[in-house]
Amino acid sequence: DAGVIQSPRHEVTEMGQEVTLRCKPISGHNSLFWYRQTMMRGLELLIYFNNNVPIDDSGMPEDRFSAKMPNASFSTLKIQPSEPRDSAVYFCASMQGGLVNSPLHFGNGTRLTVT
């Protein structure tokens, strides 16, 4: 089975530019999570969706960050405008629905560098 698919794998952009990260969850998984990973802060949950509806966005840093899930097989995380402090690895993860204790399955991440 295909795992969680993220694109692009690497993104280098200049400060002020818009960045869009993409994620395709595992088929049949109805919860989707966006994480940010840095050395200093570890894995931080930004937002998660259940059945395409945002449930908890308390981790979204500020209004420059937005996430959408237009259907069960696709989600985007957008940063506009980007800043150097946004440089990190962004992970998407999905989880099977029905059981709140189901484990998370991660994609391979997008490494974002903002110069």
Partner 1 sequence: GQQLNQSPQSMFIQEGEDVSMNCTSSSIFNTWLWYKQDPGEGPVLLIALYKAGELTSNGRLTAQFGITRKDSFLNISASIPSDVGIYFCAGRPTNAGNNRKLIWGLGTSLAVNP
Applying CB under 8 A, among 19, 21, 26, 31 the residue interacting with partner 1 is 31
Min separation Cβ 18 and partner 1, Å: 24
75 binds partner 1 (CB under 8 A): no
Cα separation, 70 vs 3, in Å, equals: 20
Q: Which amino acid is at 104?
A: L
- In sequence order, the 6+-apart residues with CB closer than 8 A to the CB of 1 are 26, 27
Cα separation, 89 vs 9, in Å, equals: 9
Applying CB under 8 A, among 14, 43, 80, 115 the residue interacting with partner 1 is 43
Applying CB under 8 A, which residues contact partner 1?
Answer: 4, 31, 33, 42-45, 48, 50, 55-56, 59, 91, 93, 95, 100-101, 103-109
